[in-house]
Amino acid sequence: MKIGQVSGLKLGKATRDAFGAALVELGEQFPEVVVVDGDVGNSTRTEKFAKKFPDRAFNVGIAESNMVSIAGGLAACGKTPVVASFACFLLCNAYDQIRMSVAFPRLNVKLVGSHAGISIGEDGPSQMGIEDVALACSFPGMTVMVPADAAATAKATEAMLRHQGPTYLRLGRAAVPEIYPNGCDFQIGKAIQLRDGSDATIIANGLMVAVALDAAKLLADQGIQVRVLDMHTVKPIDRDAIAKAARETGAIVVAEEHAPYGGLGSVVATTVTQTVPVPVELVNIGDRYAESGDPDGLLEKYGLSAEAIVRAVQNVRQT
């Protein structure tokens, strides 16, 4: 089953493609933007920018540590470096460089991790970023964004360039359904309500927003009306939207394409505890690495299906 089919969503572009297109389009308007690449520009899609603005793009080879610290130096001189690699290589390989060359000195570096999650499919677990959101959130002062579709990604890219300070933008490899065919009102730190209901709330980001909408449709067929929130910004989290959802719907399910600790689920659960404590269920890939396979099969096998969310909603309503 393809994601978004139940709720009749049209398949759109991959978020990495939307990012690459947006970046090159914004290149003139943001003359301080430069790209730093670690030999994956054709995967992260920064190559479009590099072609149009060759003087403003640096490919430093397969050397993520060097790549991130160079970006720190560029930012210290007033540039707005966009550093893109696979989510796993960027966050895991260069974690200390992000800490020391970017986050601690509060430099205006834009980290972009593509190929996040298990939906990259056949290349397998070594290429899947499933820890990246937790790692990114762990840095004091880091803004962390996980857009759901192409339109949201284009807006997130612009918001990221306008924002002053270190940011992380998480992108996927695969084409995803259009959540916002008519454009997206993307504001950093502000959740978007896609559907209302009073029986529970599903909070999701990235491609799990489409899966959440599918689940909401299946639940509606059973007479359960759920609210769906696109929590595209994990940090700073939208406390108000979460507290409101907890108060008005009494139960929350969080769905993300990530490992269970430190990602959106952890952040939402903490926020619920601190605001309006209600039962919370988490849908994620579990405390394990996935495997190679086709993306849809993987999402199904590793617990990221609409059915998994439906079960979580049923469970959380019984707690």
Partner 1 sequence: MSEAANELSIDQLKEKAKVLRRHIVRMTTEAGSGHPSSSLSAVEVVTALFFGGLMRHDPNNPTWPDRDRFILSKGHAVPVLYAALAEAGYFPVDDLMTLRKLGSPLEGHPNMTRLPGIEASTGSLGQGLSIGIGHALACRLDGRDARVFVMIGDGEMDEGQVWEAFAAAHKYQLGNLTAVIDQNGFQQTGATKDVLDLTPLENKIEAFGWHVQSVDGNDLEVVLEALRTARSITDRPTAIVCRTRKGAGTVLEEQGDVNFHGKPLPPDAAEKALSLLV
Segment 26-34 long-range contacts (CB within 8 Å, at least 24 positions apart): 26/157, 26/158, 26/161, 27/52, 27/53, 27/56, 30/80, 30/161, 32/78, 32/79, 32/80, 33/79, 33/80, 33/81, 33/82, 33/161, 34/58, 34/74, 34/79, 34/80, 34/81, 34/82
The DSSP string of 149-168 is SHHHHHHHHHHHHHS-S-EE
Query: Largest Cα–Cα distance of the chain, in whole Å?
Result: 59
Give whichever of 1 and 76 is closer to partner 1, judged by the CB atom: 76
Residues 79-138 that bind partner 1 (CB under 8 A): 79, 81, 96-97, 99-101, 104-106
Q: Which residue among 58, 127, 190, 311 contacts partner 1 (CB under 8 A)?
A: 58
Q: Which residue has the tokens 């593509």?
A: 114
The reply on whether position 65 binds partner 1 by CB under 8 A is yes
Q: Which residue among 18, 24, 75, 88 contacts partner 1 (CB under 8 A)?
A: 75
Helices (H), the chain: 15-26, 41-44, 47-52, 64-76, 87-88, 95-98, 132-137, 150-162, 208-221, 239-249, 264-274, 295-301, 306-318
Beta bridge partners of 252: 201, 280
Alpha-carbon span 194 to 191, nearest angstrom = 9
Give whichever of 79 and 173 is closer to partner 1, judged by the CB atom: 79
Residues 273-312 that bind partner 1 (CB under 8 A): none
Q: Judge whether 193 and 222 are in contact, CB under 8 Å.
A: no
Residues 17-56 that bind partner 1 (CB under 8 A): 34, 55-56
Give whichever of 69 and 85 is closer to partner 1, judged by the CB atom: 69
Q: Which residue among 51, 76, 122, 315 contacts partner 1 (CB under 8 A)?
A: 76
Give whichever of 31 and 297 is closer to partner 1, judged by the CB atom: 31
Cis previous bond, 236, omega within 30: yes
Give whichever of 73 and 183 is closer to partner 1, judged by the CB atom: 73
DSSP 47: H
Give whichever of 68 and 254 is closer to partner 1, judged by the CB atom: 68
Q: Which residue among 61, 183, 236, 277 contacts partner 1 (CB under 8 A)?
A: 61
Which residue of the set 64, 131, 256, 257 is catalytic?
64
What are residue 256's phi and psi, to 5 degrees? -150, 155
Site string (150-179) toward partner 1, x via CB under 8 A: ------------------------------
Closest separation between CB of residue 193 and partner 1, Å? 37
Alpha-carbon span 84 to 68, nearest angstrom = 9
Q: How far is CA 181 from the centre of its chain?
A: 19
The reply on whether position 78 binds partner 1 by CB under 8 A is yes
Residue 64 designated active-site: yes
The reply on whether position 205 binds partner 1 by CB under 8 A is no
Give whichever of 112 and 200 is closer to partner 1, judged by the CB atom: 112
Query: Judged by CB under 8 A, which stretch of 14-22, 58-66, 145-153, 186-194 contacts partner 1?
Result: 58-66
Site string (236-255) toward partner 1, x via CB under 8 A: --------------------
Structure tokens at 99: 């800490």
Query: Judged by CB under 8 A, which stretch of 74-82, 125-133, 284-292, 311-319 contacts partner 1?
Result: 74-82
Residues annotated as catalytic (active site), given as ranges: 64
Residue numbers at the binding site for partner 1 (CB under 8 A): 34, 55-56, 58, 60-61, 63, 65-66, 68-79, 81, 96-97, 99-101, 104-106
